[in-house]
Amino acid sequence: MVANARATAKEPVYRRIVLKLSGESLQGPLSSGIHAETVAGIARELNDVNLLGVETAIMVGGGNIFRGGRQKDFSIDRATGDYMGMLATVINGLALQDALEKVGCHTRLMSAIEMHQVAEPFIRRRATRHLEKKRIVIFAAGTGNPYFSTDTAAALRAMEIKAEVIMKATRVDGVYDADPEKVPGAKMFDKITYLDVIQKGLSVMDSTAISLCMDNKMPIRIFNMNVAGNLQRVVMGENVGSMVTA
C-alpha cells in the first residue's frame, strides 16, 4: 500500500537502492575496456535518480577488464585471479566516479581492499552516512575475499546498508527461461521466486547471492540498463523488467 501511494504521488517507491552494475555494461560497443560515452550515459541516468532523492549505492564489476576465476587462457591460481578481478572493479569505480562528478553528483568510492590513495575503506556506518547526505556511494573490490562474486558482494552490502531492493542492470529486458539472445521465443517472467531461480538454474545472480537474498527477504529487480530512462522508471514503480521475491 505504501509503495502504491508513493507511485500515485509521483514519488519514488524506493528510498535506498543498491544497483549492481557489471563491468561489461561500461564497455559499450567495445570488446573490452571502458567506453567513455557509455559511462557518461550511465552517470546521467544515475544523476536523474539522485535528484529524485533516492539514496543510491552501486556495486561495480570488473569483467570488462579481467574476469578473475573465469580466465581460461592463464594458468593462474583462482584466488590470485579473483584479486586481479577485484582491482579491475576499482578501476571501473574510479571511471564511474569521475563521470558522476562531471554531471554534478557528490560521490564516494569505497573499497573492500584498503587503498587510501584512491578510495575510502568500506565502513558500514560511514557508507550509510554518505547515503543520508545524498552522495552516490560506489562499492569496489567486491567483498575483499576471493571465491565471492560481485553479485554476492551486492547482496551483502544491500543487507548491511539496509537497502530496500537490489537492482541488477543487464543487457536483456528481465529474467527469461532461456537465453533470449540464443533462444528465439524465450519466455520472460514478470515475477519469479528465489527457489525457482535456483531450481531452474537461471542466470540471474549466482546461487550464493540468491540464497543470501532469500534468507533476508531482499527483492531483486532485473532490468535492461541499455534502454534510456529504465532506471528512473524502476525507482518510480513502473513494471519494468522482472522481480525476484519470495
Confidence class of residue 224 from pLDDT cuts 50, 70 and 90? very high
Judge whether 55 and 107 are in contact, CB under 8 Å.
no
User: Amino acid identity, residue 213?
Assistant: C
Using one digit for the tens of pLDDT, what is the confidence trace for 24-61?
999 989 989 999 999 999 999 999 999 999 999 999 99
Percent of the chain predicted with pLDDT > 90: 75
Pairing of strands 165-170, 220-224: parallel
Using one digit for the tens of pLDDT, what is the confidence trace for 97-117?
999 999 999 999 999 999 999
pTM equals 0.91
pLDDT of residue 118: 96
- Fold for the domain defined by 15-245: Carbamate kinase (3.40.1160)
Q: So where are the chain's domains?
A: 15-245
Q: What is the C-alpha separation between 84 and 73, in angstroms, rounded?
A: 15
Confidence class of residue 161 from pLDDT cuts 50, 70 and 90? very high
DSSP 135: P
Using one digit for the tens of pLDDT, what is the confidence trace for 195-215?
999 998 888 899 999 999 999
Cβ within 8 Å of residue 158, ≥6 positions away: 18, 57, 165, 166, 213, 218
Which alpha helices (H) appear in the chain, and where do they start and end?
Answer: 2-8, 36-51, 78-102, 124-132, 150-160, 194-200, 207-215, 230-235
Q: What is the C-alpha separation between 3 and 128, in angstroms, rounded?
A: 22
Copy the grid coordinates of residue 59: 556495486
Backbone φ and ψ of 26, nearest 5°? -90, -10
Q: What is the C-alpha separation between 72 and 81, in angstroms, rounded?
A: 11
Which contacts (CB < 8 Å, 24+ apart) does range 191-198 have? 191/242, 191/243, 191/244, 191/245, 192/242, 192/243, 192/244, 193/244, 193/245, 193/246, 194/244, 194/245, 194/246, 197/244
Region 121-134: what's the mean pLDDT? 97
Q: What is the C-alpha separation between 49 and 232, in angstroms, rounded?
A: 6
Confidence class of residue 6 from pLDDT cuts 50, 70 and 90? very low
Closest by alpha carbon to 118, among 141, 100, 136?
Answer: 141
